[in-house]
Structure 1
Amino acid sequence: MKIALIGYGKMGKEIEQIAIDRGHEIGLIIDQENQNDLIPDKLKDIDVAIEFTNPKSAFDNYQICFEANVPVVSGTTGWLDKIDLVKERCQSGNGFFYASNFSLGVNLFFELNKKLAKLMAPFSEYNADMEEIHHIHKLDSPSGTAITLAEGIIENHPRKTKWIEAASTKEDELSIFAKRHGAVPGTHSITWHSEVDEINIQHLAYSRKGFALGAVLAAEFMPKKKGFFGMKDLLNL
């Protein structure tokens, strides 16, 4: 399989190594120095593009890949205000795979979070909040993973209707505390607390390798596929 890497930072380099180790070819690398090389003509022999850039450029990158009929795997977060436009393109025959986090462990954690929120719903004495910690270069806050976790709680707990990135005393609001420290790959903690005890679940990433492997697995899943996909499709969750 021939892969285009759009974004060649630490994550892009990790993805490159795993892709090569799994027998794939990197046919095109797009970084800050050669952004003008991302044109349909240079994508014509590409089977799938893996996109890890930033919220400002991601949507435009998708459009160029769609124009070349190249499916996209994206882990960029912070662009979801345009997700309906991407889904429209998928309905027209393009292929797109999005995950706020490609880690197998995180996606199992998403399901655990939903299950716990559902279990806690009858017990009004418990309230929840969330903390997420990432490296200082993380551009969006809260993280896409934290937002996915928050949405999982809201979908499964009738007293939570929205999240805010601040401390809140309102019963319907889920507080997210986002911190940026050093080179932390990603830590997410959800705590349900009452006057007498608390229940805490946490996912702690040790490195980017788990995220990169998930992105390559998604790329292997996508060639010739049309539609909008995510980790639930890949993992049959």
Structure 2
Amino acid sequence: MFTGIVEQTGTLVSLETRGGVRRITVEAPGIANRMREGDSLAVSGVCLTALDVDPVYFHADLAHETLAKTSLGALAPGSKVNLELPTAAGSPLGGHVVQGHVDGAGTISALDPVIARDDPAFDERTTDWTLKVSVPEIARKWMIPKGSVAIEGISLTIAEVDDDGAEISIAILPLTYSRTNLHSLPIGAPANVEADVLVKLAWQQSQEQQKPSFDLTESWLVANGY
């Protein structure tokens, strides 16, 4: 389990095909030296298994499902990725429950400073930002105002949801902007979206409650005088 509190960014060194999978190499001093082969970690919100770890680099294999449903397959060497190690039992839950099971890749549709860039008071280091993300259709039903969402593995709070849930707006603090990969993502870039698992569970329970408690069949109708 993760919390969506990004520890640092790493740099994608390579993405190469090896048999039936694609292997990424990530430069991540500060995290790589804390891992062993087989450890889990979140790479831009995707739970992966670390391979061939050394003090500076780690590798991870991407399955076809990962390539199809996340932004990782679209990365190029030099891309920045958000990194988080699993949360140890008993540790404070700084963000929200993030599983690393991405629902799908959305799209960055806007990332604008609250203060206009031509304003004399504008300072990229201190301004807030408004992030807008187009949400993949499968996750739209789980987007709720003031609810949690993980974008690129970052625990964030949804400020606004458009009428059909296709786009969400999120307030980004200066620290989040500078310490994650958000500042490096161009408009139109894919972004991993993971809905809050608690919202998913509540939605599933509501769907179960709406189901009839029995199957309405012809034999049941005859037996009950209809």
Confirm or deny a common fold (TM above 0.5). Answer: no
Greater Rg by CA: 2
Q: Which has the higher helix share?
A: 1
Which TM-score applies when normalising by structure 2? Answer: 0.21
Which TM-score applies when normalising by structure 1? Answer: 0.20
Q: Which has the higher strand share?
A: 2
